[in-house]
Amino acid sequence: MTGSRIKIAPSILSADFSNLRTALKDCDRAPADFIHLDVMDGHFVPNLTIGPAVVKSLRSHTKTFFDVHIMVSDPIFWIEPFVSAGADGITFHVEAAGRPGEVIDYIRSFGKKVGITLKPSTNIELVEPFLEWVDMILIMSVAPGFGGQTFIPESLDRIKEIRRFLDRQNLSERVSIQVDGGVDLNNAAEIAAAGADILVAGYAIFGTTNPADTIRSFRNIFDK
């Protein structure tokens, strides 16, 4: 951890997949607070990305927290393989979980951090009963499936609503709000002001010629 209140989690989805080791090095040089790994199963979302074997290969090249976002139809099936591969935290979709409480307990049983998330079109009330049991709520600010999309402005109200809910329940110290999708250097301050603690950014970092510098530019917005 680097001490600032707002944490940066680069998503390697937009990195050069033939050179992921370099992407990890860029994150560590900056440094980044987390490395965000997007897992897609071609069923819950219309794309296929990385599996446990890739996570395992990457694990030996960095000690930074692996924040694994599983966009899969069967979260229970995939949790153990990603934990064994080196995930430090797993974030699952409420839409894919028949019983979200069981998924939370199962991730916890491995001693890992737990995140819950929902698509931009999903009613936010669906996650509220579970917030006291998780470490993080991820507000998706694009439809999951692809990097490089545009931030959905209505997400700001969803962040504010979750922040109000956490404040009311005295959970703000314990539960982080992460925002994922279309985050860039221009909208980062506004997203943080709405109540976010952790910003995920993929294209805005790995679409630039110097990703480590760009991560530092994100940090500089907040480290004043």
Phi, psi values for residue 106, rounded to 5°: -70, -45
Residue 117 beta carbon to Zn ion: minimum distance, rounded to whole angstroms: 8
201 binds, among ligand DX5, Zn ion, none (CB under 5 to 8 A by kind): ligand DX5
According to DSSP, the β-strands at 113-118 and 89-93 are parallel
204 makes contact, choosing from ligand DX5, Zn ion, none, with CB < 5 to 8 Å by partner type, with ligand DX5
117 forms beta bridges with 93, 138
* Sign of the C-alpha dihedral computed for residues 120, 112, 108 and 68 taken in this order: positive
Looking at the Cβ atoms of 11 and 62, the one nearer to ligand DX5 is 11
Nearer of residues 50 and 201 to ligand DX5, judged by Cβ: 201
Active site residue 38: yes
Instruction: For residues 145 and 93, give the distance between their C-alpha atoms in angstroms, rounded to a whole number.
Output: 13
Distance in Å, CB of 145 to ligand DX5, minimum: 5
* φ/ψ of residue 42, rounded to 5: 70, 10
Tell me which residue of 198, 201, 212, 184 sits closest to 27, measured CA to CA.
212
Q: Does 69 bind ligand DX5 (CB under 6 A)?
A: yes
Q: Determine if 201 is a binding residue for ligand DX5 (CB under 6 A).
A: yes
Active site residue 167: no
Would you call the peptide bond into 100 cis, given omega within 30 degrees of 0 as the criterion?
no
**Binding string, 12-31, against ligand DX5, x = CB under 6 A?**
-xx-----------------
Residues forming contacts to Zn ion in the complex (CB under 5 A) are 38, 69, 180
Diameter over CA atoms, the chain: 46
Residues near ligand DX5, by CB under 6 A: 11, 13-14, 36, 38, 69, 142, 144-145, 147-149, 180-183, 200-204
